[in-house]
Chains A and B, each alone.
Chain A
């Protein structure tokens, strides 16, 4: 539904939540089935661009679980139908007029270029986590000092071995960091060839190995997914891998 040319005066208690920007020509036919966060999702078109919006009550704080999920679900539905530029979660404009005058028109050229660039692409995110016990066993086997400290501390009370335990933990943490480096590199080497771009995110936590997003073109999607499956099989037993996607290209929208 394109409400484009005659933007209506929005009542004061409503504002326009913007999910993302798409090409106006893109057939966005499936919006009604997307579960949004307000009163119904619609398109506001201006020239070759269109914003995907929903009227919301600006007094209601955004950010509850349902809103976050809705933002993601709507964008992923859009991404399945064609290129979409996701807006950051929580982007709200005063009304439909503002969507045209403050978002679409001022950035037209940039948006059109970006939409061209991402045509056919979607994002996949790989998350790999260690099976901690398996990796710790490797460390004990590979590092004599770890094995020795472990022998010395594990049957004694914690109080009596506090500093040895810290030393043990430090050595283990460093060893796991080393493994993270090697295994993370392996994962990137195996998957990056099938992606146009990739981005690695900071991870924290003992079990985390790597989290990386890949911009994958439709034509290479099968190969990419097969490579990920191969990797998961190769690392089975010591690493658990999950692959989420296809999604909108959240991680590949350049900052201005």
Chain B
């Protein structure tokens, strides 16, 4: 069996997620594989949508503004320490992140249902869409849902 659980080998710098999280799986299998021309027609739910969603981020004024925002809230200690406005912006960081990934997550949930069985998806998206430092603060919410 290939399905190795999430584990770290060697030096441990490389993440080795099992290929079972929804986000990884979708990226891997969508539009891939042999195609034959004699299918029975069955309805496929949502596949088109996801494909489009995955490419939703394009270079645009919006993207530029997001880059600008991210650059401006960097804490570079240039003037001998961080200033107050910057710390306040840091607090808002989570909110902005949520907004930018909302469309994608929302669509996926609509298609696949969010209250579905196991927790792969949640972990996966947590890992993917949030900067590391946020992981700790998001954990309690996950636990709530599991219990």
Contact = CB atoms under 8 A, between A and B. Distances in A.
B44 A61 contact: yes
Given A150-B71, A250-B33, 7 more contacts: A64-B116, A65-B116, A80-B2, A132-B131, A153-B68, A250-B29, A253-B32
8 contacts: A61-B43, A69-B20, A71-B29, A154-B85, A155-B85, A169-B65, A225-B10, A253-B33
B13 A206 contact: no
Interface of A: 15, 20-21, 30, 33, 56, 58, 60-66, 68-69, 71-73, 75-77, 79-80, 85-94, 98, 102-103, 107, 122, 125, 131-133, 136-137, 139-140, 146, 150, 153-155, 165-166, 168-170, 172-173, 176, 201-202, 204-206, 211, 225-226, 228-229, 231-233, 236, 240-247, 250-251, 253, 255-256
Contacts of B66: 169, 206
A229 B8 CA distance: 10
A244 B67 contact: no
Given A232-B13, A244-B19, A250-B32, A206 B85 contact: no
Nearest to A205: B57
A166 B25 CA distance: 35
B38 A246 contact: no
Q: What is the interface residue range for chain B against chain A? A: 35 or more
